[in-house]
């Protein structure tokens, strides 16, 4: 836990230091070695520090096998998954705290599935703590001749202080072959089967490149795609280390090309050995995160489609040149070179899964799996029931809410009607009464009604009649003065 917290604190400083130099100057480590003699067939940046990622698990495996060889533990030793181990990020098996597993099954799982939780379980079970196991890793690495490696965790998850070199990983691969010849099958398992689940090895060379027989891949954003691989042809075994590649496919293709090149070379008596490779002048590993893990794209995974369908020695010779050390610097910008682009990879040979289990025996593991499946089924059914109940309750709540809304609307309408009626009554009460001068006594009203002129069309006729009667009267009246005037004239004559 202390290592992880400390790692998070210094990670930003390490990243800044790594990016201080130009990215184009980064040389990705490459190494081709004869397994038996340790002679170098090709090298490039072989002693440059690099983040190991999950090839760390080769070191974890060596320490565990060495403890078993010395009788401190056995491959049947039961290890218990702690909450800390269960909390490790993927890739993982997802075992619950308290689950027990034998050391042998744990080693098979970390070699194939690369499970970080199981690696943590091994470290805590064999070292008492992760810190204690890391001390054992460093002590063992120094004893077998690894000069540049520094170990802080057993699974290779990001830790800025943990790095290794291609040279050290080749030394470790040779030590695993030399010291544990009866455990070589551990590194060539094509797949494991846990219950009904079958998990293929991440090593894209197994079952694809002829003669490939190990060992381990690794990937983190800061270190790119790494592999320590071995292959045998004509009784001759070669170890190839490729680090810092931008994809699993390119890593596998380059490793296959290097194998083709290596099997076409013979190490002379003047060839360098792993021990004579010159030290690096780099103070720390570069951080490739900005180049490997583009935030705009999906996170890469440590699974490649496999090795090559074709790869002639001439092609590899043209790419890598002669076997002299560091004859070319493969800049990071050239990782997707034309020799890699468009290369096809064949399907993997049929998997041959090896069974692994929890507990002491397959029977115990099967019983534990059956119980886990029953619990999972019960949990699934409970979740389904809870989902149905939640849906039913939601429907009931929706109905109740609808009824409440309807009742509230009806009440609001009723209240609005009541308010309207109240306003109408209030308006009737407050309406103004007629003025006193407009009031007429009843008798006068009756008289007036009797004396009142008739409708307009009838009175219109009476004035006309009166006018007609008035005209003759007017003539009669005018005639009298005329007569009087005539009488007056007679008197004058």
Which of 162-166, 418-422, 427-431, 442-446 is least confident?
442-446
* Average pLDDT in the chain: 81
Give the Cα separation of 421 and 426 in Å (integer).
9
Q: How confident is the model at residue 326 (pLDDT cuts 50, 70, 90)?
A: very low
pLDDT tens per residue across span 113-158? 999 999 999 999 999 999 999 999 999 999 999 999 999 999 999 9
Percent of the chain surpassing pLDDT 70: 74
Catalytic-residue membership of 114? yes
Catalytic-residue membership of 57? yes
Is residue 216 a known part of a binding site?
yes
Tell me which residue has tokens 């390119």: 250
Q: Is the pLDDT of residue 450 over 70?
A: no
Annotated active-site residue in 39, 43, 54, 113: 54
Check residue 214 and report its DSSP letter. E
Q: How many CB atoms lie within 10 A of CB 7?
A: 18
Catalytic-residue membership of 129? no
Annotated active-site residue in 39, 57, 108, 254: 57
Give the mean pLDDT of 366-386. 90
Q: How confident is the model at residue 105 (pLDDT cuts 50, 70, 90)?
A: very high
pLDDT for 12: 36
Give the mean pLDDT of 276-283. 94
DSSP string, 28-87: --EEEEETTT-BEEEEESTTS-B--GGGHHHHHHHHHHHHHHTTSS-TT-EEE--HHHHT
Annotated active-site residue in 43, 92, 108, 114: 114
Give the mean pLDDT of 30-35. 97
Closest CA to 280 of 174, 147, 141: 147
């Amino acid at each position: 836990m202390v290592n992880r917290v400390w790692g998070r604190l210094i990670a930003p400083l390490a990243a800044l230091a790594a990016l201080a130099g130009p990215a184009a100057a980064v040389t990705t480590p490459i190494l081709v070695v004869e397994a038996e003699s340790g002679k170098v067939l090709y090298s490039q940046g072989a002693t440059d520090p690099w983040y190991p990622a999950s090839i760390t698990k080769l070191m974890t495996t060596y320490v565990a096998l060495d403890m078993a060889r010395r009788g401190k533990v056995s491959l049947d030793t039961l290890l218990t998954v702690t909450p800390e181990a269960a909390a490790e990020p993927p890739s993982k098996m997802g075992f619950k705290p308290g689950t027990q597993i034998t050391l042998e099954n744990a080693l098979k799982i970390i070699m194939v599935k690369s499970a970080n939780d199981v690696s943590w379980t091994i470290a805590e079970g064999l070292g008492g703590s992760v810190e204690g196991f890391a001390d054992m890793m460093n002590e063992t690495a120094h004893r077998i001749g690894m000069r540049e490696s520094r170990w802080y965790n057993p699974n290779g998850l990001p830790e800025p202080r943990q790095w290794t070199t291609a040279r050290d990983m080749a030394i470790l691969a040779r030590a695993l072959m030399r010291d544990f010849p009866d455990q070589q099958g551990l590194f060539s398992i094509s797949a494991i089967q846990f219950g009904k689940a079958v998990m293929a090895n991440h090593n894209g060379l197994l079952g694809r490149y002829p003669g490939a027989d190990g060992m381990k891949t690794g990937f983190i954003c800061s270190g790119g795609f790494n592999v320590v691989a071995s292959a045998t042809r004509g009784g001759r075994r070669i170890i190839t280390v490729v680090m810092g590649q931008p994809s699993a496919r390119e890593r596998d293709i380059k490793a296959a090309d290097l194998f083709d090149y290596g099997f076409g070379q013979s190490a002379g008596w003047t060839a360098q050995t792993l021990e004579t490779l010159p030290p690096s002048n780099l103070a720390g590993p570069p951080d490739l995160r900005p180049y490997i893990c583009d935030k705009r794209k999906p996170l890469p995974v440590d699974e490649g489609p496999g090795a090559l369908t074709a790869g002639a020695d001439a092609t590899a010779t043209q790419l890598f040149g002669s076997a002299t050390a560091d004859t070319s610097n493969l800049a990071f910008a050239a990782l997707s070179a034309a020799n890699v682009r468009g290369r096809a990879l064949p399907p993997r040979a049929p998997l041959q899964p090896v069974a692994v289990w929890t507990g002491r025996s397959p029977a115990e593991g099967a019983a534990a799996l059956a119980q886990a499946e029953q619990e999972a089924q019960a949990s699934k059914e409970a979740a389904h029931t809870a989902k149905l109940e939640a849906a039913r309750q939601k429907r009931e709540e929706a109905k109740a809410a609808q009824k409440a809304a309807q009742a509230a609307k009806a009440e609001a309408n009723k209240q609005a009607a009541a308010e309207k009626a109240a306003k109408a009554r209030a308006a009737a009460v407050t309406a103004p009464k007629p003025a006193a001068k407009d009031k007429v006594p009843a008798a006068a009203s009756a008289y007036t009604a009797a004396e009142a002129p008739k409708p307009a069309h009838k009175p219109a006729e009476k004035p006309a009649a009166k006018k007609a009667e008035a005209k003759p009267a007017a003539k009669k009246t005018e005639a009298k003065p005329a007569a009087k005037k005539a009488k007056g004239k007679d008197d004058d004559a």
